[in-house]
């Protein structure tokens, strides 16, 4: 069999490859839009893959010329993509068998086959799955500088030699298909991995549709299940499910190796509204680099216990803000102070932690604690008064941090740092703030927002009670090098720090000061504990 055989649809749309260059055509597979062949390239003396559009795809003559020009354009772009996890495209095929692209042969298996074969080893193979996710994200970060895939799915991801650590994304050259394909455009996609906007407003599709697909793949990869917000039933229902990510079971429910930070990243990729998703693959890759899988089932690390607390060295620290545009009066003046060494919990106290305290001591439970234990045990405890927080802190041998201790701990040792991680404002991979979520998240869900001291959730999730009575002018009463400042004079509102999921992002700044009456019970107020170090 050779290239001169009368097979398929011939397209008179320009120059064709020399007769006889492509020989020994062997069909590898057929999909809704194209058929793939393994072909011997007689000129270069090696096998290549040629993916040829199926004849029915080009049946609509009104779309054909436009589509072919688009494919040519995107193939030229695809040829510029050079990444070990992207299948190289070499040329356009325009010959007796039809129209398509010439690309590398990838000897291996589809990711779908690997997932099916390893469905019972979710936890044991979690490190391999995380490595795969990083590779795919890195490839998208490169590809998205020039092109959007639009049909990312396990069937379009091949593993060289069956190795989960060597994935290759296929079909960037065909990424212009979809709505331009003749017939039902849904047949050009796999609805299971398709973003909502690809059905509801295809003209708006951008790289965030690929990130949605990556989220569905990641959820399935770590759980062996398809999330309920997948469009897998779209062909039968004609409706896009609109499920808040807070109402989706996190991957950790099905895979004990998944930490809260990875839960949050995967779920954030699948937000219904594109603007609420992680916005760029490069941003996601940065966040994935700091994710650490759990070695013990269901153990997110010590919380609310002295042996897990972080030591903050004593000495010189900085409080408040230097004068400038947008600085609030209660943050001035910026002062150098001196603190004695102290320990502080790396994360806020959780609902499960507080329930243990209630059981052990008989302390009254805050409202809805039982309900929170059923669905959000690893989230911060909320609806606790200042007195509740103090009682818990005494029970574990600690105290509520002073306002100065909290602020200096949040800055991670960086003088006048704006946010725990630095100067950049919060984003969906760093903090649960700015209504990125409609409720709290499990503690430690934002590994990229962890500060240099290793403290989580110092920005967003819940406001945190501090010891101090709030005084708008307190910083103005301090002198240079004041030792261990704390305002314990009088009664009235108590200091809150850090912002919450409901706060505007600027309220998550390290220096932002707020307050509430000490008896306040709110769904966005929690706390963490500080301790004196051993002598």
Residues labelled catalytic: 151
Beta strand 108-110 with 494-497 is unpaired
355, 384 contact by CB (below 8 A): no
Kindly give the residue spans of alpha helices, DSSP state H, lying in 120-195: 126-143
348, 527 contact by CB (below 8 A): yes
For every residue of 241-306, DSSP letters joined together read ----GGGSPPGGGT-TT--HHHHHHHHHHT-SSGGGS---HHHHHHHHTT----SSTT-----S-G
H or E segment to which residue 47 belongs = strand 46-53
H or E segment to which residue 65 belongs = helix 61-79
Smallest Cα–Cα separation from 395: which of 346, 362, 430, 352?
A: 362
Smallest Cα–Cα separation from 519: which of 363, 384, 392, 395?
A: 384
220, 232 contact by CB (below 8 A): no
Q: Is 513 exposed, middle or buried (0-12, 13-18, 19+ CB in 10 A)?
A: buried
What are the residues facing 515 on neighbouring strands?
Answer: 495
């Amino acid at each position: 069999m050779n290239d001169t055989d009368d097979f398929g649809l011939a397209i008179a749309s320009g120059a064709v490859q020399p007769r006889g260059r492509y020989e020994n055509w062997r069909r590898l597979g057929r999909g809704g839009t194209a058929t793939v062949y393994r072909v011997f390239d007689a000129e270069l003396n090696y096998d290549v893959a040629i993916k040829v559009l199926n004849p029915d795809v080009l049946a609509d003559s009104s779309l054909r010329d436009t589509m072919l020009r688009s494919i040519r354009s995107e193939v030229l772009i695809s040829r510029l993509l050079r990444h070990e996890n992207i299948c190289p495209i070499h040329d356009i095929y325009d010959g007796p068998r039809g129209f398509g692209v010439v690309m590398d042969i990838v000897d291996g298996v589809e990711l779908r086959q690997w997932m099916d074969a390893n469905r019972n080893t979710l936890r044991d193979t979690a490190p391999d799955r995380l490595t795969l996710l990083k590779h795919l994200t890195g490839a998208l970060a490169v590809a998205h500088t020039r092109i959007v895939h639009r049909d990312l799915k396990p069937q379009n991801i091949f593993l060289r030699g069956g190795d989960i650590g060597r994935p290759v994304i296929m079909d960037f050259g065909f990424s212009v298909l979809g709505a331009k394909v003749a017939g039902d455009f849904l047949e050009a996609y796999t609805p299971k991995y398709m973003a909502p906007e690809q059905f509801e407003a295809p003209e708006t599709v951008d790289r965030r549709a690929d990130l949605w697909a990556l989220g569905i793949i990641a959820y399935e990869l770590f759980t062996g299940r398809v999330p309920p917000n997948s469009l897998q039933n779209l062909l039968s229902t004609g409706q896009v499910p609109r499920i808040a990510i807070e109402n989706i079971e996190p991957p950790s429910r099905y895979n004990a190796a998944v930490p809260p930070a990875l839960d949050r990243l995967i779920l954030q990729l699948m937000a219904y509204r594109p603007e609420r998703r992680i916005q760029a693959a490069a941003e996601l890759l940065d966040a994935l680099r700091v994710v650490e899988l759990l070695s013990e089932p269901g153990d997110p690390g010590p919380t609310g216990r002295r042996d897990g607390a972080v030591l903050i060295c004593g000495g010189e620290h900085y409080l408040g803000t230097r004068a400038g545009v947008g600085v609030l009066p209660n943050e001035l003046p910026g002062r150098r102070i001196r603190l004695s060494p102290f320990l502080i919990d790396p994360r806020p106290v959780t609902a499960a932690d507080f329930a243990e305290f209630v059981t052990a001591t008989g302390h009254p439970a805050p409202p809805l604690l039982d309900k929170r234990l059923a669905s959000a045990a690893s989230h911060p405890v909320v609806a606790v008064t200042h007195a509740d927080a103090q009682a818990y802190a005494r029970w574990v041998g600690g105290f509520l941090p002073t306002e100065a201790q909290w602020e200096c701990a949040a800055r991670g040792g960086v003088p006048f740092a704006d946010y725990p991680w630095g100067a950049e404002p919060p984003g969906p991979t760093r903090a649960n703030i700015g209504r990125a979520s409609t409720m709290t998240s499990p503690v430690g869900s934002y590994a990229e927002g962890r500060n240099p001291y290793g403290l989580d959730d110092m920005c967003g999730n819940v406001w945190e009670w501090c010891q101090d009575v709030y005084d708008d002018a307190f910083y103005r009463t301090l002198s240079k090098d004041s030792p261990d400042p704390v305002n314990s004079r009088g009664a009235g509102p108590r200091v809150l720090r850090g912002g919450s999921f409901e706060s505007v992002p600027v309220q998550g700044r390290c220096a932002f000061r707020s307050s509430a009456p000490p008896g306040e019970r709110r769904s966005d107020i929690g706390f963490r504990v500080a301790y004196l170090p051993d002598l």
